[in-house]
C-alpha cells in the first residue's frame, strides 16, 4: 500500500516543524542537561582563572559541593562567586613574607635621606622604591601573589605616616589594586574589585 504524496509532504513538514521547535527551545526542554553543562564549564574556567592569577592562594572549593542541589544555575554560580570573593577579602599577609632589613644592593645614594617624610609628599625617588620593591618581592603582590607590573603596582605602608611610619623599604610592600583597597578601606560594600568583575564575566560566558 503506497502512501499518498500529500501525506508524505505533510509528514515531512510536520517533522521539520518539530525539529525547528526542539532546536529553538532545546535549552528549556533539556534544561537540566544544559544547566549541568553550564555549571561544569563555569567551575572549570573559575578554577583555571584563580590558579593562574593567584598561584599561591589555596582557595577552598567546598561551596561547589554545598550548592550542588541548587536548581537555578545562575543562583549557584553567584553563590560560588560570593564565597570565593569572601575568602579573597579575608586573606591576611603571611608573617614570613613581611620584609626585613633592606640589603645594600637595593639601596642608592640618597635612599636613607629620602626615607624621611616631607609634608605628606612622596619621596622624589618613589619610582626607584617601587622598582626595588618589585625586585625584592619577585614582581608579585605580597598579599595575594598576583603578578605585578610597574603600572599595576600599588604600594602599601605597613606602618602609616600617622603612626610614625617612614619610607624605608622594609615598611613598604607591593600590592595589586584590589588588595590596596582591602587593606585601606573599612567598608567594601560599594567598592569595585577586579577579581569580582572577572568572576562575574566567567559566569556570564559559561
Give residues with Cβ within 8 angstroms of 200, minimum separation 6: 78, 81
Q: Are 119 and 66 within one domain?
A: no
Condensed to tens digits (0 to 9), the pLDDT of residues 29-53 reads 555 544 567 899 999 999 999 999 9
Question: Is residue 187 situated within a structural domain?
Answer: no
Across residues 96-111, what is the average pLDDT?
90
Condensed to tens digits (0 to 9), the pLDDT of residues 157-181 reads 999 999 999 999 999 999 999 999 9
Question: Is residue 152 situated within a structural domain?
Answer: yes
Q: Higher confidence at residue 71 or residue 9?
A: 71
Question: Can you give the pLDDT at residue 29?
Answer: 52
Q: Are 53 and 105 within one domain?
A: no
Question: Is residue 127 situated within a structural domain?
Answer: yes
Q: Higher confidence at residue 10 or residue 23?
A: 10
Domain that holds residue 48: 30-90+194-205
Q: Are 106 and 161 within one domain?
A: yes
Question: Can you give the pLDDT at residue 5?
Answer: 62
Q: What's the structural domain count of the chain?
A: 2
Mean pLDDT, all residues of the chain: 88
Question: Is residue 198 situated within a structural domain?
Answer: yes
CA-nearest of 22, 87, 24, 28 to 54 is 87
Q: Which residue has the cell 598579599?
A: 143
Condensed to tens digits (0 to 9), the pLDDT of residues 182-197 reads 999 877 878 999 999 9
Question: Is residue 17 situated within a structural domain?
Answer: no
Q: Higher confidence at residue 172 or residue 8?
A: 172
Question: Does 1 have pLDDT greater than 90?
Answer: no
Question: Is residue 24 situated within a structural domain?
Answer: no
Question: Can you give the pLDDT at residue 33?
Answer: 46
Condensed to tens digits (0 to 9), the pLDDT of residues 137-160 reads 999 999 999 999 999 999 999 999
CA-nearest of 204, 156, 203 to 177 is 156
CA-nearest of 196, 157, 202, 197 to 47 is 202
Question: Can you give the pLDDT at residue 25?
Answer: 57
Amino acid at each position: 500500500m503506497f502512501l499518498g504524496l500529500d501525506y508524505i509532504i505533510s509528514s515531512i513538514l510536520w517533522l521539520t516543524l518539530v525539529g525547528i521547535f526542539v532546536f529553538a527551545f532545546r535549552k528549556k526542554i533539556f534544561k537540566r542537561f544544559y544547566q549541568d553543562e553550564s555549571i561544569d564549564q563555569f567551575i572549570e574556567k573559575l578554577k583555571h582563572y584563580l590558579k593562574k592569577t593567584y598561584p599561591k592562594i589555596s582557595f577552598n572549593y567546598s561551596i561547589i559541593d554545598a550548592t550542588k542541589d541548587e536548581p537555578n544555575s545562575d543562583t549557584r554560580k553567584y553563590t560560588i562567586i560570593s564565597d570565593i570573593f569572601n575568602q579573597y577579602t579575608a586573606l591576611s599577609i603571611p608573617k614570613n613574607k613581611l620584609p626585613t632589613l633592606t640589603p645594600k644592593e637595593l639601596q642608592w645614594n640618597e635612599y636613607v635621606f629620602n626615607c624621611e617624610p616631607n609634608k605628606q609628599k612622596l619621596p622624589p625617588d618613589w619610582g626607584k622604591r617601587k622598582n626595588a620593591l618589585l625586585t625584592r618581592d619577585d614582581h608579585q603582590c605580597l598579599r595575594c601573589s598576583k603578578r605585578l607590573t610597574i603600572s599595576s603596582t600599588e604600594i602599601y605602608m605597613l606602618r602609616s605616616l600617622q603612626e610614625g611610619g617612614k619610607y624605608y623599604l622594609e615598611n613598604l610592600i607591593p600590592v595589586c589594586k584590589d588588595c590596596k583597597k582591602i587593606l585601606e578601606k573599612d567598608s567594601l560594600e560599594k567598592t569595585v574589585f577586579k577579581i569580582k568583575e572577572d568572576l562575574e564575566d566567567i559566569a556570564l560566558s559559561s
